[in-house]
Structure 1
Amino acid sequence: MSLLLLTLFAATFCAPLLVAQGSDTSSSDPYMELMQKASAHAKKHHTKYPPALSPLFSTLLGPDPEVHVADLQKAGFKVVPWTTNDPEQMKQLLALKVDGIISDRPDILHKVILEAREAAKGDAAQLAYLDQLDAEGHRGGRGIRPENTLPAFEGGLDNGIHTIETDTGVTTDHQSLIWHDQFLNPQSCRHADGTPYTLENRVYTRDISMADAQKTFICDKLHFGPDQKNDLALSPVAVAFAKHEGMISPYAPTSAAQLFRFVNFYEKYYESGEGSHLPEAKQRAYTAKHVHFNLETKIVPPGISEASMMAQMTGHTLAELKASGKVPASAFEENHTVDLVTFVDTLCGFIREYHMQERADVQSFDFRTLLLVQEKYPEIPTYYLTESAKLLSSEMVPEELRVSKR
């Protein structure tokens, strides 16, 4: 989900913007100002749900945090931070009573929540809070399986997540292909026929059909630490589903529509299928039946690139970023996706087609996406992804939502 490159670079080159603790007005809190403006737009279009905020987890922590959870919640906005894999940070976020936590490690998050429940025995209020907490598997669960693949989604479900967080693009045949980057990244993907696949000959989602993507690529490469595994013996449901769908591999790229079908398949697998005899079958079927989907649109405004966002956050020029040698050439490229309307219509069309309006939301760093969802698909919830207060007053934010500079 995150603009990871941007996060890492910004952590090196700039300090976080600090906001006074306890601030509860839009005049002093840029996040409150953003959400109040987003809420005004949502109300204008009679959305079913108020917009929610999904900030970088570190902006909630420390003695002088940027994001004030209690104030935002009091104003009616959910707060679901991304992405932490550290148990102590998870515990700090639980202490703030966040509405959810997004993690690459659904196994660790599951353990932390179980420990919190054990510690809360006899505390009805705390148990009620933990009951409604939204545990989200980032890219399914990329800390345990290669990201945004059927095995990653299976790994998340196996660990009892409440929401599958993932990323989408749009193919030439108007399918919502699931992948984090605007191209199928050779860090994770390889050619099925064994021919070389590198950044130099990378394929953008907008330039390939879903069928060609699934017969050309296998995205099973390991690069996220020692606990990330691609052994198919660990993913029996993904193996069975891939066979059912005629895929060349469970690690072939998948789509939003296919993800919806996979979750239904997973439920039946444990409810009445091959896995129904297992002791965990009942719980796994229940998890799949109720799991939600947090679907990010991988699109950025015209004229904006990852590098230009880095420049705004750090105060460096694009030339300085290039000279640093820390930013890949692809970060200087502008948007390589279909147009905004096609992007939103494609994704939301599949949400409606599969009747997932009560279980799916759309999230984005590109707030144009969310405004359009509110206007055209008012029944679908929207989540505003944020990384730094500095960016909220930048040109990447639509003028209607842009916060005042502080």
Structure 2
Amino acid sequence: MGFDLEAHRGGRALLPENTLPAFANALSMGVDTLELDVGVTADGEVVVSHDRGLNPDLARDARGIYVRPPGAPLVKLRLDEVRTYDVGQIRPDSAYAKQFSDQRAVPGTRIPTLRELFALVRKSGNTGVRFNIETKIDPNRPDESLAPQAFVTRLLSVIEDEKFSDRVMIQSFDWRTLQFVQQQAPKMPTAYLTLQRGTSTVALDKATPWTAGFNPAFHGGSLPRTIKAAGGSVWSPHFGDVTAALISEAHGLGLRVVVWTVNKPDDMARMIELGVDGIISDRPDLLRQVAGEKGIALPAGTPVAP
């Protein structure tokens, strides 16, 4: 595999995140990978959503009123209930709206199912684009999603039924889900997400609830070595946590390094110069531009309407 140009949540700086309009835009533009997040509804449907519940900054009810925090967990709603919410326009007075002030609203947009995304890709005729699917599970909030094994079993069932197994990578901050993926679908690549700043999910001196019992202290305090021991094929750190030495160490272990979420051209260029294998970005349009300037072959677009 060459450089992996990934559209984060379909490219949420441009169009509503994790929606068919965003994914259609990314496919039309040309990306290597559609990055997305999934949850499972009360009736077992795998839906595309970054949040474990309805996001009060995104979801409006049938009256056009944004839901009140914290938003009902998807696992407690049936698909037909989820369908009643419009996620095509950011709540205007929110911090999210300030962060992505140029996002084009698409009122009337619904939370899609994973099957609908696969159908859109088939419609586009794109036989090469891949999927980087994140399981939205928080080990500290077990009531807000299916248990890890049940979640993975349901997700893999949809992927296999739709015949996309050879084009999917599963990523997660909750490494328990990745362990189950490796058991149930050993040929499917797993990407171990890490965050070492702010609300960190990993520590170098101990296991955390996120790391499925794996303790970097037993692996020289090295995240790449810990992920290799866990059976991962990709290390996916926050881009602010990587150095040339860490990337070299990961490569020496046979791991690919895909960083998130890089939106500024200078940072994109710096990551490419450091030798990362891929970048996840809210601005796939800018990433195409920077990658092209760095001599990276760009994926062809396959124009499609949602």
TM band (smaller chain): 0.5 to 0.7
CA distance in 1, matches of 2:113, 2:151: 14
Contact 1:365 1:386 in 2 (8 A): yes
Q: Which residue does the alignment assign to 2:203? A: 391
How large is the RMSD of aligned CA atoms in angstroms? 2.0
Q: What per-residue deviation string (whole Å, max 9, x for no partner) do you get for residues 204-246 of structure 1?
A: 11011122211x10101232423210257xxxxxxxxxxxxxx
Q: Which residue number in structure 1 is paired with residue 68 of structure 2? A: 198
Contact 2:11 2:22 in 1 (8 A): yes
Q: Distance in 1 between matches of 2:178 and 2:114?
A: 18
Aligned to 2:111: 253
> Contact between 1:145 and 1:230, CA under 8 Å: does it hold in 2?
yes
Contact 2:10 2:26 in 1 (8 A): yes
1:112 equivalent in structure 2: none
Which of 101, 116, 119 aligns to 1:226? It is 101
**Residue segments in structure 2 that go unaligned for 5+ positions in a row:** 91-96, 222-306
Instruction: Spell out structure 1 runs of 4+ moving beyond 3 A.
Output: none
The share of aligned pairs that are identical, in percent, is 33
The letter of the residue matching 1:337 is: S
Which digits, 9 at most, give the CA deviation of each residue in 1:350-401, with x for residues without a partner?
11001111101110001110111111111221111111285353322122x2
Looking at structure 1, the residues matched to 143 and 25 of structure 2 have their Cα atoms a distance apart, in angstroms, of 31
How far, CA to CA, are the matches of 2:56 and 2:168 in structure 1? 29
**If each structure's helix is expressed as a fraction of its own residues, which one has the higher value?**
1
Contact 2:33 2:130 in 1 (8 A): yes
1:367 alignment partner in structure 2? 175
Q: Give the distance between the partners of 2:143 and 2:13, measured in 1 at CA.
A: 28
- Give 2:113's aligned amino acid: S
Q: Aligned partners of 2:41, 2:106: CA distance in 1, in Å?
A: 29
**Superposed, which structure 2 residues align to 1:49-198 within 5 Å?**
132-198=2-68
Unaligned runs of 5+ in 1: 1-98, 100-131, 233-248, 268-287, 305-332
Give CA deviations for 1:160-180 in whole Å, capped at 9, x if unaligned.
111000001111111111111
The higher radius of gyration belongs to 1
Q: CA deviation at 1:334?
A: 5.6
The 2-side partners of 1:358 and 1:180 are apart by: 23
Stretch deviating more after TM superposition (338-347 or 190-199): 190-199
Letter in 1 for 2:155: L
TM-score calculated relative to the size of structure 2: 0.63
- Residue in 2 aligned with 1:107? none
How far the C-alpha of 1:256 sits from its partner, in A, is 1.1
- Number of residues of Structure 1 aligned to a counterpart in Structure 2: 206
Which residue in 2 is equivalent to 1:264? 122
